[in-house]
Amino acid sequence: MSILPVLIFGTFSLLFMAVAIISFVMFYQRKVIAHQLQIQQKEEEMQRELLRATLKAQEDEMQRIGKDLHDDIGLKLISVKNKVIGGLMNINKETDEANYLEQAKNDLEAIRNEIRSISHTLYPSALDLNGLSFALEKICKDLNGYEGIKISFRLSGEYKKEKREIEIALYRIALECMNNAIKHSQCTEINLTLIYREQDFSLEISDNGNGFDASDLMKQEGLGLKNIQSRAKAIGAELKFESSKNGTKVLVNQLIQVQKNQ
Amino acid sequence: MRNLEVMLFFSLIEGVLLLLLYRTVIEEIPLKRLLKFITPAYVLGYLGVYFFLDYKLYIPSYTYPFHQIVMLVTVLLFFADRMKRMNEIFLTENPMFWISCGFLFFYTGSIFYFALHNTLFASYPSISKNGWLIHSTMLVIMNLFLAIGILKIRKA
C-alpha cells in the first residue's frame, strides 16, 4: 500500500476529528446552558408565583380586616354614637354628665374617622371601583397638607385599567413610598406621576427630602424597601431608586398586560 | 547537531511548558492529578523514545509523534475539564478554548506527517520536502487560533 494515501487520509481524518470534537464541545455547552437557563427561568417563575400567592393571601386578609372594620365596628360605633346623641337630648346640656357625653360623642367620631381611614388603607375600595389612577388621586387629595407636606398627583396619557393584582401592587408601592417620604425624608413636597405609554406605563414617586443611600438599598432596614421590591418582583415590574441630597425618586415601570393579552 | 535534533529539543521544552500551562488552567482535581503524573512521565518517555528508537534513525519518527500524542491528550483533558464546568463561562469567551483549538488542529494535522517522515524521506524524498507544507499550514492555523485567544485575553 502506498504511503501517500495513508498520509492524506490519516491527516484529513484527524483534522475532521478535531473539528468534530470542537463542534461537539460547543454544541454541548449551548445545550447545557439552554437547559440551565430553562431551569433558572422555571425557578424564578415558581418564586414569583409563590410571592404572588403570599401577597395575595396578605391582601385578602387585609381586605377582610378592612371590611370588618368598616362594616362591623364602624356601624357599631355609629350605633353607640347615636345612643350618646339620644342621651344628650334627654339631659340638661349645662350639667357635667352632658359635657362627658359630648366629649364621648366627639371621641367616638374621631375613632370612627380613624377606623374609616385604616379600613380604607387596608381595603382601597376606590381602587376596585374606579381604578388605580382614581385611587392614587384620592389618596393624594386625602393626604395633601398632612404634616405640612404638599402632595400632588398627575396622570399623563390615557388611563387603562390593569389586572387587579398589578394595580393593587402599584397602589401599595405608592403608599409605602409616600409613607417613607413623610416619616423619614423631612420633605415638603411629594409628587406622584402615573404615565401611560403605548406598551408600558410607569409610576413615579418623588420627594424633595433628604434622600438615602440608594446604592446600599438592602441595608436600609425599616423603610419597607424589601416590601416594595417584593411587590414589584411579584408583578414583574422594573424598579428603580434614585436618591440624592435633593430628594428621592422611585420609578416603577410595568408592561401593559391587559392589552398584551388581548 | 542536526536541525531536527534542535527541533526535538525545542519540542521537549514546548511540551513541558504546555503541560505546566494546562496544569494551571485545568480545575478538576482528578484531571489535575493526572497531569501531575503525565508531566514527568512525558519527559522520561520523550527522552526514552528518542534514545531507544530515534537516535540511530536519520530522521526521527517516533519522538515527535509521541510528543504530539501527549499534547493531544492534554488538550482533550482540557476539553473534558471544560465540559464539567459548562455553566461557568461561554467557551468562546475563554481564551484557553481558542488556544487549545489551535493546538488541537496543529497536532492532529501534522502527526501523520511526522510519524511517516522517515519512510517518506526514504521512499518519496520530494513528497517529504513538500510535506513541510502541511506542517507550515498547521502552524499558520494554530497561530490564528492563538491570536484569537490573545485577543480574548485582552478583552477579558
Q: What is the pLDDT of residues B107-134, one digit of tens each?
A: 998 888 888 877 777 777 777 777 778 8
Contact B88, B99 (CB under 8 A): no
Residue B106: what pLDDT? 93
What whole-number distance in Å separates Cα of residue A45 and Cα of residue A253? 19
In A86-199, beta strands by DSSP E:
150-156, 189-196
Listed residue (A124, A130, A188) closest to A155, CA to CA: A130
What whole-number distance in Å separates Cα of residue B125 and Cα of residue B119? 9
Q: Which of A3, A22, A33 sits opposite B116 (nearest CB)?
A: A3
Q: Which of B76, B87, B113 sits opposite A7 (nearest CB)?
A: B113
> In Å, how far is B1's CA from the nearest CA of chain A?
28
Residue A262: what pLDDT? 42
For strand A238-244 and strand A247-255, is the pairing parallel, antiparallel, or unpaired?
antiparallel
What whole-number distance in Å separates Cα of residue A180 and Cα of residue A222? 9
* Residue of A14, A26, A28, A33 to mutate, interface with B, max B Cβ within 10 Å: A14
What whole-number distance in Å separates Cα of residue A109 and Cα of residue A253? 40
* Residue of A1, A3, A17 to mutate, interface with B, max B Cβ within 10 Å: A3
What whole-number distance in Å separates Cα of residue A209 and Cα of residue A244? 9
Looking up cell 464541545 gives A25
Residues of chain B falling short of pLDDT 70 = 1-2, 87-89, 156
Instruction: Please give the grid coordinates belonging to residue B101.
Output: 483549538
Q: Which of A6, A15, A32 sits opposite B116 (nearest CB)?
A: A6
| Residues of chain A by 3-state class (helix, strand, coil), percent to 5 | 70, 15, 15
Residue B124: what pLDDT? 77
For the residues of A175-230, what is the DSSP string, one character each? HHHHHHIIIII--SEEEEEEEE-SSEEEEEEEE-S----GGGGGG-TTSSHHHHHH
Are A4 and B86 a contacting pair at CB < 8 A? no
Contact B61, B117 (CB under 8 A): yes
What whole-number distance in Å separates Cα of residue B16 and Cα of residue B61? 20
CA A149 from chain centre, in angstroms, equals 22
Name the DSSP class of A146: G
CA A204 from chain centre, in angstroms, equals 12
Q: Is 90 exceeded by the pLDDT of residue A206?
A: yes
Q: Give how many domains chain B has, as a whole number.
A: 1
Q: Is 70 exceeded by the pLDDT of residue A134?
A: yes
Name the DSSP class of A161: -
How open is the CA angle B71-B58-B109, to the nearest 5 degrees?
Answer: 30
Are A15 and B109 a contacting pair at CB < 8 A? yes
What whole-number distance in Å separates Cα of residue B111 and Cα of residue B4? 15
The architecture of the domain spanning A125-261 is 2-Layer Sandwich (3.30)
Listed residue (A128, A125, A229) closest to A173, CA to CA: A229
Chain A touched by B43 (CB under 8 Å): no
Q: What is the mean pLDDT of chain A?
A: 86
Residue B42: what pLDDT? 95
Q: Is 90 exceeded by the pLDDT of residue A223?
A: no
> How many residues does this entry show for chain B?
156
pLDDT tens sequence across A62-71: 888 888 888 8
Instruction: Please give the grid coordinates belonging to residue B27.
Output: 480545575
Restricting to B residues 58-117, those with a Cβ less than 8 Å away from any Cβ of A are 76, 79, 82-83, 86-87, 90-92, 101, 104-105, 108-113, 116
> Which residues in chain B have Cβ-Cβ distances shorter than 8 Å to A22?
101, 104
Give the model's confidence band at A163: pLDDT under 50 very low, under 70 low, under 90 confident, else very high. confident
Provide the residue range defining the domain that includes B65: 3-155
Section A189-197 average pLDDT: 92
Which helix (H) or strand (E) segment holds residue A137: the answer is helix A132-143
pLDDT tens sequence across A19-38: 999 999 888 888 888 888 89
Residue A261: what pLDDT? 45
Most confident range (mean pLDDT) of A121-130, A136-145, A206-215 is A136-145
% of chain A surpassing 90 pLDDT: 22
What whole-number distance in Å separates Cα of residue A116 and Cα of residue A71? 10
Amino acid symbol at A211: G
Please tell me which residue of chain B has the smallest CA distance to A27.
Answer: B91
Domain-by-domain residue ranges, chain A?
3-121, 125-261
Q: Which of A18, A32, A33 sits opposite B104 (nearest CB)?
A: A18
Q: Chains A and B: how many Cβ contacts under 8 Å?
A: 59
